[in-house]
Amino acid sequence: MHYPEPIAKLIESFMKLPGIGQKTAARLAFFCLDMEEEEVVKFANALISTKRDLQYCSICGNITETDPCSICADAQRDRSTVLVVENPRDIMAMEKIRDYHGLYHVLHGVLSPMEGTGPEDLNIPSLIKRLQSEDINEVIIATNATAEGEATAMYLSRLIKPAGIKVTRLAYGLAVGSDIEYADEMTLFRAIDGRREL
């Protein structure tokens, strides 16, 4: 079926979003068509504002409206600890727990030879510069528990440890409410390895 050009372009635009196939894109496009014009304008302005009004923090790489970001500018944060994450969404997840009070550093990806992502493609040089110029005692590596995340963690550890800075990794293991019998071997290994005294 041939859609009118404006709808076809909107469907094509929605399909560029991750996880959106043609059927979902068509459903979203027709939903937009049924919206009040004022709501469509607000939606479009929100998209434009996201691109125009946001930038990456020059210190940590987080998304922000002002440079430096509010976390880097906060004098109350523990400036001796830096938690390294893959992307800005990870910072938002960590901030929800309200228990970590140090600084962050966003890599904007992980090492992935299969996808052609090497160390030069990540935000690693600015991390090394921070470690040389600031009084940082510990770097917590919080990349995901994937093959790429583990490879990135090992790479960073080998890069940072010679400077005499403590390098730690987030603990992994069984999720709260999960059953041991359904856990995979790597999860069980991590759970045993990261056990702590009660």
- DSSP label of 103: E
Average pLDDT, the chain: 92
Q: Tell me what pLDDT residue 178 has.
A: 76
Q: Tell me what pLDDT residue 189 has.
A: 79
- 119 closest CA partner among 144, 156, 165: 156
Residue 186 has pLDDT above 70, yes or no: yes
- DSSP label of 2: P
Single pTM value for the model: 0.82
Residue 182 has pLDDT above 90, yes or no: no
Q: Tell me what pLDDT residue 97 has.
A: 85
Tell me which residue has tokens 């893959």. Answer: 86
Question: 191: which 2 tokens?
Answer: 């759970």
Question: How much is the average pLDDT of 38-45?
Answer: 96
CATH number given to 78-172: 3.40.1360.10
- Helices and strands (H and E) in the chain: how many: 8, 6
pLDDT digits 0-9 by tens, 141-154: 999 988 899 999 99
Q: Tell me what pLDDT residue 50 has.
A: 93
Question: 13: which 2 tokens?
Answer: 């635009």
Give the DSSP letter string of 165-194: -EEEE----PPTT--GGGS-HHHHHHHHHT
Question: How much is the average pLDDT of 103-121?
Answer: 94
Residue 111: CA count within 13 A, CB half-sphere: 13
Q: How far apart are CA 166 and CA 182, in angstroms?
A: 34
pLDDT digits 0-9 by tens, 71-102: 999 999 999 999 999 999 999 999 998 889 99
Q: How far apart are CA 163 and CA 58, in angstroms?
A: 23
Q: Tell me what pLDDT residue 41 has.
A: 96
- Cα angle vertex 171, ends 72, 86, to 5°? 45
Hey, where are the domains in the chain? 78-172
Q: Tell me what pLDDT residue 1 has.
A: 64
Residue 37 has pLDDT above 70, yes or no: yes
Q: How far apart are CA 93 and CA 134, in angstroms?
A: 25
Task: Read off φ and ψ for residue 83, nearest 5 degrees.
Answer: -100, 120
Residue 185 has pLDDT above 90, yes or no: no
